[in-house]
Amino acid sequence: MDSNATPSPAENELVYSRQFPVPVGRLFEAFRNPEKLQLWWGPNGFTSEFETFEFEAGGTWKFIMRGPDGTEYPNDSRFVEIVPDRLIVFDHVCPPHFRMTMTYGPAPEDRDESVLTWRMAFETAELCRKLRPICDPANVENFDRLQSFFPGNAAD
Average pLDDT over residues 50-78: 97
**Domain 4-149 carries which CATH code?**
3.30.530.20
Per-position DSSP letters for 120-153, written without gaps between them: EEES-HHHHHHHHHHHHHHHHHHHHHHHHHSTT-
pLDDT of residue 25: 96
First to last CA, the chain: 7
pLDDT at 6 over 60: no
Per-residue pLDDT band at 2 (split at 50, 70, 90): very low
Rounded-to-integer distance, Cα 130 and Cα 100, Å: 17
How many Cβ atoms are within 10 Å of 154's Cβ, its own excluded?
Answer: 9
Distance between CA atoms of residues 124 and 105, nearest Å: 28
Per domain, the residue ranges of the chain are 4-149
Residue 9, pLDDT score? 59
List, for residues 110-139, the tens digit of each pLDDT value.
778 999 999 999 999 999 999 999 999 999
pLDDT tens string 14-49: 999 999 999 999 999 999 999 999 999 999 999 999
The stretch 82-95 carries a mean pLDDT of 98
pLDDT exceeds cutoff 90 at 77: yes
Q: What is the pLDDT of residue 112?
A: 87
